């Protein structure tokens, strides 16, 4: 088990006042709250901050933690000394407050499990009339745009809190095979009934919410149901019009570019986006004219000839003549 440096987690000195502990916690909790911070490790950080605060905000727990000593380094292999909590007010395993998150092994070895169920179990035991809904779990699932376009089967493994017959709470890996229908979009959520944390009583499991996140795609991006593609074209295709091939999630299709097209022109391929069974999405192609580098003398000659024969001033609206 790794030693956790709770002071480092909150970014404070070991002699910080209780007010400083609280201030540091509040600031970091806002910063790393998983609803606010979208970085993938935000949730983990938020839990660590919560765990550090749970210990340091409480004078008793903080004193006990300090007693372990300041010689430990974060990550160092740790075993609590025997009877280390002697003389403090919280011997036993029923000490901590109820709360939703699971704390680290390090925390549990010192202060016992923190779980919303522990207390309920203590008071109600196995009384079948007692009912308590398990917690809802939230997780993200990363799928490709192709998965959404076609529908897909996914396998997810989650750590799920479970209560055993003696009322002890532990997390265990839980693997689910899920069929995700076609046409899900980023940020959309899927609710899996009864797949959340275990509750007490019949049909009391919480629900699992999976939020869809798209893996980044080399060419496409998604705007809700619409697939966006920036399509490079040549100046002559733009000027003269052309029929060109365009990749879509469902394969290549042909697109007719009208003459006199400009960079930024948006064209729609109807029904080629992320369509569900009831709502359809389109693909939008944004044209981007690419200027070829003149590779040799004859290319340069061609450009010069254009400059001579074509009277074109793209800056006329800016009031300049050349």
Which spans of this chain sit near other proteins (rule: CB under 8 A)? 26, 29-30, 33, 35-36, 38, 46, 100, 133, 136, 138, 175-181, 183-185, 187-195, 209, 221, 223, 228, 230, 232, 276, 278-279, 288, 290-291
Question: CA angle, corner 3, sides to 162 and 160, nearest 5?
Answer: 15
User: Can you tell me whether residue 171 is helix, strand or coil?
Assistant: strand
Largest CA distance in the chain: 95
User: Can you tell me whether residue 99 is helix, strand or coil?
Assistant: coil
**Residue whose token pair is 């499991």:** 205
User: Can you tell me whether residue 146 is helix, strand or coil?
Assistant: helix
Nearest CB to other proteins, comparing residues 42 and 68:
42
**Cβ atoms within 10 A of the Cβ of 9, count?**
21
Nearest CB to other proteins, comparing residues 168 and 265:
265
Q: Cα(49)–Cα(29) distance, rounded to whole angstroms? A: 7
Q: How far is the CB of 132 from other proteins (least distance, A)?
A: 12
Nearest CB to other proteins, comparing residues 66 and 247:
247
**Residue whose token pair is 């275990």:** 198
Nearest CB to other proteins, comparing residues 119 and 133:
133
Nearest CB to other proteins, comparing residues 27 and 93:
27
Residues 28/56, Cβ–Cβ less than 8 Å: no
Nearest CB to other proteins, comparing residues 30 and 86:
30
Nearest CB to other proteins, comparing residues 191 and 305:
191
Q: Cα(126)–Cα(132) distance, rounded to whole angstroms? A: 12
H/E stretch holding 202: none
Burial group, residue 173, by CB count within 10 angstroms (0-12, 13-18, 19+): exposed
Question: CA angle, corner 227, sides to 223 and 230, nearest 5?
Answer: 105
List, in sequence order, every residue forming a beta bridge with 231; answer none if it has no partner: 287
Q: How far is the CB of 258 from other proteins (least distance, A)?
A: 21
Q: How far is the CB of 188 from other proteins (least distance, A)?
A: 6
List, in sequence order, every residue forming a beta bridge with 230; answer none if it has no partner: 286
Q: How far is the CB of 299 from other proteins (least distance, A)?
A: 15
Q: Which two tokens stand for residue 54?
A: 């749970």
First to last CA, the chain: 73
Q: How far is the CB of 192 from other proteins (least distance, A)?
A: 5
Nearest CB to other proteins, comparing residues 151 and 250:
151
Q: How far is the CB of 307 from other proteins (least distance, A)?
A: 21
Residues 209/176, Cβ–Cβ less than 8 Å: no
Q: How far is the CB of 304 from other proteins (least distance, A)?
A: 21
Q: How far is the CB of 279 from other proteins (least distance, A)?
A: 6
């Amino acid at each position: 088990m790794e030693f956790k440096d709770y002071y480092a987690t909150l970014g404070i000195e070991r002699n910080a006042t209780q007010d400083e502990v609280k201030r540091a916690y509040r600031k970091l909790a806002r910063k790393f709250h998983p609803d606010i911070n979208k970085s993938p490790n935000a949730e983990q950080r938020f839990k660590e901050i919560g765990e550090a605060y749970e210990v340091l905000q409480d004078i008793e727990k903080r004193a006990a933690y300090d007693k372990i000593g300041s010689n430990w380094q974060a990550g160092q292999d740790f075993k609590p000394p025997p009877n280390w909590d002697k003389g403090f007010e919280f011997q036993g395993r029923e000490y901590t407050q109820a709360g939703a998150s699971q704390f680290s092994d390090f925390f549990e070895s010192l202060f016992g499990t923190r779980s919303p169920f522990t207390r309920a179990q203590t008071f109600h035991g196995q009384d079948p009339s007692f009912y308590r809904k398990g917690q809802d779990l939230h997780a993200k699932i990363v799928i490709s745009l192709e998965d959404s376009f076609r529908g897909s089967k996914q396998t997810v493994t989650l750590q799920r809190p479970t209560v055993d017959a003696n009322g002890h709470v532990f997390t265990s890996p839980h693997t689910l095979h899920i069929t995700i229908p076609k046409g899900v979009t980023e940020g959309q959520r899927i609710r899996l009934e009864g797949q959340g944390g275990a509750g007490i009583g019949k049909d009391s499991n919480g629900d699992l919410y999976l939020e869809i996140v798209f893996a980044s795609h080399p060419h496409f991006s998604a705007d809700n149901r619409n697939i966006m593609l920036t399509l490079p074209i040549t100046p002559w295709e733009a000027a003269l019009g052309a029929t060109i091939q365009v990749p879509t999630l469902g394969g290549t299709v042909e697109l007719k570019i009208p003459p006199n097209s400009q960079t930024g022109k948006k064209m729609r391929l109807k029904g080629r986006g992320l369509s569900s069974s009831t709502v359809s999405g389109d693909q939008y192609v944004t044209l981007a004219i690419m200027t070829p580098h003149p590779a040799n003398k004859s290319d340069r000659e061609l450009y010069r000839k254009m400059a001579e024969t074509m009277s074109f001033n793209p800056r006329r609206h800016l009031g300049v003549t050349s």
